[in-house]
Amino acid sequence: MTFVKHAASERAASWEAAGLEWLRAAGGTSVVEVTSVESNSLVLQQLSSTSPSTAAAEDFGRSLAATHSAGASAYGVGPDGWQGDGYQGPADDLLPLPLRPYDSWGAMYADLRVVPLLERATALRSEAEQLLRRLRGGDFDGSCAAPARLHGDLWSGNVVWTADGAALIDPAAHGGHPESDLAALALFGAPHLERIVASYEEVAPLGDGWRERVPLMQLHLVLLHAVLFGGGYVEQTRRILHRYR
């Protein structure tokens, strides 16, 4: 069975399809199947959801580590063969997701994930300067050995739990820091999160101090929410910026 998902444009539909296929090619976590892309619509496999078991969560942790380990050619790049920027945010209010290759995770995170959103959240720009200097100076680069193949928007709503285990949907796929996907799962809460992380570490141990970096890894998505929705996300962003000054 299939269902049709309408995108904001033909390019946005192609972007989502490219991300799903790139993640599928990693051979790790299950990914919703793209049957076809027709103009501004995707024809996707119909997924039937169920409650996740502890065993399914552990399988997900291990398979997500395998997806990440498939890697990317550089930090900040999109799926193989994709040209130009991608998209981020809800389908009815998409923003550009800047994409270009970097050797440094911190510089990429500053230039492509944080600064473009700060240009839309000008009240926070001055408070971000110290963290931006740290990112560009490589202070956090040692926590990541190589670019991971990220889902890029891995909040719990983009993981569908089926009878066969977890399946990924709605990516903003790019090369980045593996802790970013795990931090996204924690942002709004994921079932059996501690088991997911523990099983992930069975395959790919996280770097020292990873728990202290969780808010930093969440900054991109929190700032995106601040731009799109305002409210408490603005203050949450401010707290993260001050934490890493």
What tokens appear for 108 in the block?
């990429």
Residue of 59, 111, 153, 181 with catalytic role? 153
In the residue annotation, 153 being an active-site residue is answered as yes
* Long-range contacts, 187-193 (Cβ 8 Å, 24+): 187/155, 187/218, 187/221, 187/222, 188/155, 188/156, 188/157, 189/156, 190/156, 190/159, 191/51, 191/52, 191/57, 191/156, 191/161, 192/52, 192/54, 192/57, 192/58, 193/57
Instruction: Give the H/E segment covering residue 2.
Output: strand 2-6
Picking from 169, 165, 167, 161, the residue whose alpha carbon sits closest to that of residue 20 is 169
235: Cα within 13 Å, side-chain hemisphere: 2
What tokens appear for 40 in the block?
């501004």
Instruction: Give the H/E segment covering residue 37.
Output: strand 34-38
DSSP assigned state of 226: H
Q: How far apart are the first and last CA of the chain?
A: 50
d(CA 190, CA 193): 5
List residues with catalytic annotation.
153
